[in-house]
């Protein structure tokens, strides 16, 4: 499924238009409302709750963004919905709540966080539960993940959803625990055709990569993350079709 034009024309606010100084933390309803009010698209992250609900939250653990500790996946959606995000009056939202809030007013770029630990096939219920909720959503939406198995599962269940891969050079130390062969496949973007991707969202510092150039030459749209200034945006747009940004008004 091709990307909706809004994904190429409206800059995407990274985890919403978040600003802790304005009581609008990342992936919060307040941050998403702010993005809608400014006419931006929205990028958001999904984890899964103990009872199988897609939860709008970036981290696997609660402590960075809340005053609680432990795994998101060890709490039910109702329990998570009682946990306040730091520096705000917002609590952790479900995807269902955010779909109701946005209601087609902004393109939604949804990242499924890896549930396997090695970007492998043990993807759990997140892809299926997300797809179930998106079937009735009226607005522009695209789903992406580092994990090709998660993306493929969405494509199989919902062929009318635009699909992409989150990509990078995988040089960060946090990726060193990956199986070396899997890591090389991901660097080369070997799975793009298999999963039916129509775009990649690539690390802005690596846009000159030959793998990105090959993806672009094949007709895929190039999005990028995370742009933090007008100067970085100008540089990224020499290659990328659109940006995911934070920390300034794109």
pLDDT in tens, 86-107: 999 999 999 999 999 999 999 9
Q: Note the pLDDT of residue 21.
A: 84
Place of tokens 């290659």: 239
Torsion angles phi and psi, residue 145, rounded to 5: -165, 155
CATH value of 12-106 in 3.20.20.190, 3.30.70.2190, 3.40.50.300, 3.90.1640.10: 3.20.20.190
Q: Comparing 241 with 176, which gets the higher pLDDT?
A: 241
* DSSP H/E element including 232: helix 230-236
**Is pLDDT of 242 > 90?**
yes
**Tens-place pLDDT, residues 123-166:** 999 999 999 999 999 999 999 999 999 999 999 999 999 999 99
**Is pLDDT of 20 > 90?**
no
Mean pLDDT of 184-212: 98
Q: Note the pLDDT of residue 231.
A: 98
Q: Note the pLDDT of residue 76.
A: 98
| Average pLDDT value over all residues in the chain | 97
Q: What percent of the chain has pLDDT over 90?
A: 98
**Is pLDDT of 36 > 90?**
yes
**Is pLDDT of 62 > 90?**
yes
Strand ranges in the chain using DSSP code E only, listed in sequence order: 12-14, 41-48, 54-56, 108-112, 141-145, 162-167, 199-203, 221-227, 242-245
Task: Specify the CATH class of 118-250 in words.
Answer: alpha beta
| CATH 3.20.20.190 domain residues, the chain | 12-106, 118-250
Lowest mean pLDDT among 17-21, 122-126, 128-132, 223-227: 17-21
């Amino acid at each position: 499924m091709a990307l909706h034009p809004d994904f190429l024309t409206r800059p995407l606010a990274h985890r919403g238009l978040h600003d802790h100084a304005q009581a609008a933390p990342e992936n919060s309803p307040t941050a998403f409302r702010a993005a809608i009010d400014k006419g931006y698209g929205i990028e958001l992250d999904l984890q899964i709750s103990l009872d199988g609900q897609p939860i709008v939250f970036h981290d696997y653990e609660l402590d960075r963004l809340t005053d609680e500790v432990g795994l998101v996946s060890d709490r039910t959606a109702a329990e998570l919905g009682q946990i306040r995000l730091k520096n705000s009056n917002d609590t952790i939202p479900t995807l269902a709540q955010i779909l109701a809030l946005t209601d087609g007013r902004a393109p939604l770029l949804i990242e499924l966080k890896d549930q396997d630990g090695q970007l492998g096939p043990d993807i759990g219920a997140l892809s299926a539960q997300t797809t179930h909720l998106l079937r009735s959503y009226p607005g522009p939406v695209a789903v992406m993940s580092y994990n090709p198995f998660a993306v493929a599962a969405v494509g199989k269940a919902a062929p009318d959803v635009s699909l992409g891969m989150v990509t990078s050079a995988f040089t960060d130390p946090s990726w060193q625990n990956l199986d070396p062969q899997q890591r090389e496949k991901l660097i080369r973007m070997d799975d793009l055709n298999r999963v039916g991707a129509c775009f990649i969202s690539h690390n802005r510092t690596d846009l000159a990569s030959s793998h990105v150039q090959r993806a672009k030459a094949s007709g895929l749209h190039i999005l990028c993350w995370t742009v933090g200034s007008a100067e970085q945006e100008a540089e990224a747009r020499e290659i990328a079709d659109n940006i995911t940004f934070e920390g300034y008004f794109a």
